[in-house]
């Protein structure tokens, strides 16, 4: 049995498919015959040459579009791709371990990263992102040169890999994937969020999973307990037969809730929206009768393109989503890059800590060539659909005002071209940076609505990286400091008369619903698969009791005490009468 962190609940049973991931594509790891080694060498040489040529072209293109200093990064990466040591190490591994070149390259890059990340020198540590980037690029080239159908996922296979970038997840035929096991990431990583929104059981942070599990192994993935059984005994299989039957019964029990309103026991309606990243999960949001989309993460649509999608391409995909939901509201968030959200065609300057570097609106404001086409596409959608625009990673008032200035310019351009749009398109701000949370009242007056992004807010308040599994014990959404801050943001929204919707993952846990209602939240946006359980918790709550619970929780000194309070009968549990 291997242990990790359960990041998407449910049980998956099936055959392992161990893959190596590039930027947007993946290939199986497999054993080879000694006679195949020469063919693998030729493939590696061709991929290294193609990656070097791509980098040179990118250096030129980015130099022209974004300036020479942004382009320098690709010069350094070209040198890394041409490093004979890298080539030699990969080929040695192919020969000695008799594995395909994709598997060998992944292992070598992983080894480099482990060495770099262990060095206290900050300059070297900053290079880790470059090494990872180079590895992905060469892998992508290797995989894509094989043709688009190089990865066929057998129905129900359990995909095992080192790290699953959101861009790869978005392209995997996820409806065929039974479950996911990854070495990196934790509950609040973007691929985990995507797995939850698609209802695919997943475990992250399983050390050396892609080496310890082999393609063809029989696996049981328990996404709740965070364990994976490799070639389990019949007794374990029997235990999971029973557990799966219970889970199915639990789901059926909730299905009657689809048609019932989201309303507390004492009659307060609590809008329940869906968090969505791609067209596929709009279908489950519709099936569970979401009141609308409270958070549409646009970065996934960017990550399935090989280059920036044009305004028209963006318009088409956004309009399709808005049409499916019409006349319900869709909140489209502007491209939120930075942290672990990267695009192979958009260079991020090296940063010691990507979560504290250029991100969200700050990055967009530096790149009007990226911001403007997206705003134009969104405004065109707003002409016929109730679309709102949400700003990611807002730190303060200036950023909102600067975006509004660009919005006005874009509106003037569209008007001059005779293109229709909603001149009063609602503009909202994510509250996910502590400064924004602390000045929520002032920000609320500046915008039409607020969205509480607890995934980032928790990492910034507690100084605990949401992507780093080693710091996961300190990433505590129930920390009394976090709860106090959430309570104060809810108060600020009420006093400014603005809607505040929680769209962070914390809002999707039904064990937190009562506490969040007690802290003053009156609108939830959660993964489609979590909607019914949250609705059930809302319908079981009386607001007076919820307020008492919240008041007691914020007075406590530790997460353990808050958890104990939520676990008490009559406290975290549903009202008895």
For the chain, the maximum distance between any two Cα atoms, rounded to a whole number of angstroms, is 73
Q: Of these residues, 186, 190, 385, 512, which one is catalytic?
A: 190
Cβ atoms of 487 and 515 within 8 Å: the answer is no
Cβ atoms of 173 and 198 within 8 Å: the answer is no
Binding residue for ligand PEP (CB under 6 A) from 281, 456, 465, 530? 456
Cβ atoms of 199 and 218 within 8 Å: the answer is no
Cβ atoms of 333 and 430 within 8 Å: the answer is yes
**Which helix H or strand E contains 296, and what residues bound it?**
strand 292-297
Q: Which of residues 473-532 bind ligand PEP (CB under 6 A)?
A: 503-504
Number of other residues whose CB lies within 10 A of the CB of residue 558: 12
Q: Of these residues, 186, 385, 479, 503, which one is catalytic?
A: 503
**Which helix H or strand E contains 49, and what residues bound it?**
helix 37-66
Which stretches does DSSP call E strand in 393-465?
A: 427-431, 449-452
Which does residue 58 touch among ligand PEP, Mg ion, none (CB within 5 to 8 A, set by kind)? Answer: none
Tokens of 361: 């609106």
| Cβ-based burial of 117 (10 A; exposed 0-12, middle 13-18, buried ≥19) | exposed
Binding letters toward ligand PEP, positions 318-347, x by CB under 6 A: ------------------x-----------
For the bound state, the minimum distance from the C-beta of residue 217 to Mg ion, rounded and expressed in Å, comes to 35
Please identify, using beta-carbon distances, which residue of 334 and 387 lies nearer to ligand PEP: 334
Which does residue 469 touch among Mg ion, ligand PEP, none (CB within 5 to 8 A, set by kind)? Answer: none
Q: How far apart are CA 375 and CA 541, in angstroms?
A: 40
Please identify, using beta-carbon distances, which residue of 17 and 457 lies nearer to ligand PEP: 457
For the bound state, the minimum distance from the C-beta of residue 143 to ligand PEP, rounded and expressed in Å, comes to 26
Please identify, using beta-carbon distances, which residue of 167 and 210 lies nearer to ligand PEP: 167
Which does residue 297 touch among Mg ion, ligand PEP, none (CB within 5 to 8 A, set by kind)? Answer: ligand PEP
Cβ atoms of 332 and 298 within 8 Å: the answer is yes
Binding residue for ligand PEP (CB under 6 A) from 24, 89, 187, 297? 297
Please identify, using beta-carbon distances, which residue of 386 and 453 lies nearer to Mg ion: 453
Q: Which residue of this chain has its Cβ atom nearest to Mg ion in the complex?
A: 456
Catalytic site includes residue 190: yes
Q: Which residue of this chain has its Cβ atom nearest to ligand PEP in the complex?
A: 453
Between CA 535 and CA 179, with CA 169 as vertex, the angle to 5 degrees is: 65
For the bound state, the minimum distance from the C-beta of residue 295 to ligand PEP, rounded and expressed in Å, comes to 6
Q: What backbone phi and psi angles, to 5 degrees, belong to 11?
A: -115, 135
Task: Indicate whether 465 belongs to the interface with ligand PEP (CB under 6 A).
Answer: no
Binding residue for ligand PEP (CB under 6 A) from 102, 183, 281, 432? 432
DSSP letter, residue 385: S
Task: Indicate whether 291 belongs to the interface with ligand PEP (CB under 6 A).
Answer: no
Which does residue 40 touch among ligand PEP, Mg ion, none (CB within 5 to 8 A, set by kind)? Answer: none
For the bound state, the minimum distance from the C-beta of residue 432 to ligand PEP, rounded and expressed in Å, comes to 4
Please identify, using beta-carbon distances, which residue of 333 and 542 lies nearer to ligand PEP: 333
First-residue to last-residue Cα distance in the chain:
42
Q: Which of residues 193-222 bind ligand PEP (CB under 6 A)?
A: 193
Please identify, using beta-carbon distances, which residue of 100 and 275 lies nearer to Mg ion: 275
Binding letters toward Mg ion, positions 426-465, x by CB under 5 A: ------x--------------------x--x---------
Q: How far apart are CA 391 and CA 368, in angstroms?
A: 15
Please identify, using beta-carbon distances, which residue of 162 and 456 lies nearer to ligand PEP: 456
Scanning 472-519, the segments in alpha helix (DSSP H) are: 480-496, 510-518
Which does residue 32 touch among ligand PEP, Mg ion, none (CB within 5 to 8 A, set by kind)? Answer: none
Q: How far apart are CA 41 and CA 37, in angstroms?
A: 6
Scanning 258-386, the segments in alpha helix (DSSP H) are: 279-287, 299-303, 311-325, 360-366, 368-382
Q: What backbone phi and psi angles, to 5 degrees, belong to 232?
A: -70, 155
Please identify, using beta-carbon distances, which residue of 217 and 432 lies nearer to ligand PEP: 432
Q: How many residues bind ligand PEP (CB under 6 A)?
A: 11
Which does residue 264 touch among ligand PEP, Mg ion, none (CB within 5 to 8 A, set by kind)? Answer: none
Task: Indicate whether 399 belongs to the interface with Mg ion (CB under 5 A).
Answer: no
* DSSP-derived secondary structure for 233-254: -HHHHHHHHHHHHHHHHHHHHH
Beta strands 202-204 and 177-182, pairing class = parallel
Using DSSP, state whether 372 is helix, strand or coil: helix
Which does residue 169 touch among Mg ion, ligand PEP, none (CB within 5 to 8 A, set by kind)? Answer: none
Nearest to 107 by CA among 118, 97, 120, 121: 97
Task: Indicate whether 453 belongs to the interface with ligand PEP (CB under 6 A).
Answer: yes
Catalytic site includes residue 326: no
Task: Indicate whether 455 belongs to the interface with ligand PEP (CB under 6 A).
Answer: yes
Q: Which residues bind ligand PEP (CB under 6 A)?
A: 193, 295, 297, 336, 432, 453-456, 503-504
Q: Which residues bind Mg ion (CB under 5 A)?
A: 432, 453, 456
- Active site positions, annotated: 190, 503
């Amino acid at each position: 049995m291997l242990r990790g962190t359960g990041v998407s609940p449910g049980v998956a049973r099936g055959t392992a498919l161990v893959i190596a991931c590039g930027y947007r594509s993946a290939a199986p790891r497999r054993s080879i015959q000694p006679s195949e080694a020469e063919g693998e060498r030729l493939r590696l040489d061709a991929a290294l040459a193609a990656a070097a040529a791509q980098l040179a072209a990118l250096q030129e293109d980015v130099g022209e579009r974004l300036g020479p200093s942004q382009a320098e990064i690709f010069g350094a990466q070209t040198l890394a791709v041409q490093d004979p040591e890298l080539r030699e190490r990969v080929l040695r591994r192919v020969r000695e371990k008799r594995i395909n070149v994709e598997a060998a390259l992944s292992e070598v890059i992983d080894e480099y990263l482990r060495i770099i990340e262990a060095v206290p020198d900050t300059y070297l540590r900053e290079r880790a992102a470059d090494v990872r980037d180079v590895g992905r690029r060469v892998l992508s080239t290797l995989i894509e040169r094989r043709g688009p159908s190089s990865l066929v996922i057998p129905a129900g296979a359990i995909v095992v890999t080192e790290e699953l970038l959101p861009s790869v997840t978005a392209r995997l035929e996820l409806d065929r994937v039974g479950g996911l096991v990854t070495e990196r990431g934790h509950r609040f990583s973007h691929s985990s969020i995507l797995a939850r929104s698609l209802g695919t059981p997943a475990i992250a942070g399983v050390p050396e999973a892609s080496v310890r599990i082999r393609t063809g192994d029989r696996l049981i993935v328990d996404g709740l307990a965070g364990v994976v059984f490799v070639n389990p005994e019949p007794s374990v299989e029997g235990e999971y037969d029973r557990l799966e039957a219970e889970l199915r019964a639990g789901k059926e029990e909730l299905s009657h809730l689809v048609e019932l309103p989201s309303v507390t026991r004492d009659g307060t309606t609590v809008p329940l929206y869906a968090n969505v990243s791609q067209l596929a999960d709009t279908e489950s949001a519709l099936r569970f009768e979401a009141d609308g989309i409270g958070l549409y993460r646009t970065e996934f649509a960017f990550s399935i393109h090989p280059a920036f999608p044009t305004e028209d391409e963006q318009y088409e995909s956004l309009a399709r989503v808005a049409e499916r939901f019409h006349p319900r509201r869709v909140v489209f968030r502007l491209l939120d890059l930075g942290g672990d959200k990267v695009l192979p065609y958009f260079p991020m300057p090296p940063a010691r800590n990507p979560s504290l570097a250029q991100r969200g609106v700050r990055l967009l404001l530096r790149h009007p060539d990226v911001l403007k086409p997206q705003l134009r596409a969104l405004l065109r959608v707003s002409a016929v659909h109730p679309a709102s625009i949400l700003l990611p990673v807002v730190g303060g008032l200036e950023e909102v005002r600067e975006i509004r200035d660009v919005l006005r310019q874009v509106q003037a351009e569209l008007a001059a071209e005779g293109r229709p749009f909603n001149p009063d398109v609602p503009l909202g701000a994510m509250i996910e940076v502590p400064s924004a949370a602390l000045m929520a009242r002032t920000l609320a007056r500046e915008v039409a609505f607020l969205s509480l992004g607890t995934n980032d807010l928790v990492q910034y308040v507690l100084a605990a990286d949401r992507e780093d599994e080693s710091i996961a014990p300190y990433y505590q959404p129930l920390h009394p400091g976090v709860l106090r801050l959430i309570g104060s943001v809810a108060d600020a929204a009420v006093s400014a008369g603005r809607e505040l919707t929680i769209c962070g993952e914390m809002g999707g846990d039904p064990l937190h619903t009562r506490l969040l209602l007690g802290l003053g939240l009156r609108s939830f946006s959660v993964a489609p698969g979590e909607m019914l359980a949250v609705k059930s918790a809302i319908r079981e709550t009386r607001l007076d009791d919820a307020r008492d619970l919240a008041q007691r929780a914020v007075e406590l000194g530790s997460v353990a005490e808050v958890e104990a309070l939520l676990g008490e009968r009559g406290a975290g549990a549903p009202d008895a009468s």
